Amino acid sequence: MSFAGQVAMSAANAAASNMHSQVGQAIGKPLENLSGSKAANHAEINWVDFNYPPFVRLIHYRVDELPTTLTGIVRMFNISFLVTVLACLLNFIDTIIIVGSSDAPFKWVVQSGIHLLILPACALATFYCGYRGLCEPDATLASRFKMAQPILALIYFFMAIVPFGCAHGLAEFSKIDDHTQGQGSGFWTVAIIVESCLWGGNTALAALNSVRAAKYDMMNGDGGPLTGRF
């Protein structure tokens, strides 16, 4: 792994760990446990009715409970989380195949497994902060989302571009021959293209979510009436 790759990996992991420790505090907690919370505008939402993600059920999420002004933006928050899960799962499968068919180190599989645990958890916590923070509205959760979502966008960008460890960024094309005795690998090439597209798309989506959340706050204010639509 290049020095630049090591620096990017360390920065991304440190950012993810710090963000996860902060935004993860909100998941599953009733509103009264959150400092600075305001009275809910949608009291009919039972936030402790944990139903999402399917089978895991860590948070409450139902799009049909949202006001029409929030339906579109919250769906985009959720899509970013789902793309993160898909990209991490695909990376884990790709890395197992790549390591098994080349001289790439086994530690890449371990790294990919760690990413599969950490990144979706961070994305879920961020999604929940944005979803509940805007729906209540709750300034504390909204602030956590505004901090976490740009950090995730930066991590996704690194995953799309930089070839560090198990991350098959676009720049990894030049590294394939080093691990395949100069023979190349069609599967590895396709894996890089697909994963980079997923991470690149999620970078743009996360950045857009950050902008839309900020715009929503500007239009409605903390605790203001839910006006306007995205």
Note the pLDDT tens digit of each residue in 186-226: 888 899 999 999 999 999 999 999 999 988 877 775 544 44
Q: Is the pLDDT of residue 36 over 70?
A: no
Strand, helix or coil for residue 226: coil
**What pLDDT is stored for residue 45 in this prediction?**
83
Q: Is the pLDDT of residue 25 over 70?
A: no
**What pLDDT is stored for residue 41 in this prediction?**
47
For residues 226 and 63, the model is more confident at 63
For residues 15 and 172, the model is more confident at 172
Cis bond before residue 53 (omega within 30° of 0): yes
Indicate the pLDDT class of residue 27, thresholds 50, 70 and 90. low
For residues 179 and 39, the model is more confident at 179
Helices (H), the chain: 3-23, 68-101, 107-135, 139-161, 176-179, 186-220
**What pLDDT is stored for residue 224 in this prediction?**
45
For the entire predicted model, the pTM comes to 0.78
CA distance 26 to 28: 6
**What pLDDT is stored for residue 46 in this prediction?**
87
Tens of pLDDT, residue by residue over 138-155, are: 889 999 999 999 999 999
Q: Is the pLDDT of residue 127 over 50?
A: yes
Q: Which residues are within 8 A (CB) of 172 and not within 5 positions of it... i.e. 6 or more apart?
A: 163, 192
**What pLDDT is stored for residue 13 in this prediction?**
54
Q: Are 194 and 202 in contact (CB under 8 A)?
A: no
- Mean pLDDT over each residue of the chain, to the nearest integer: 81
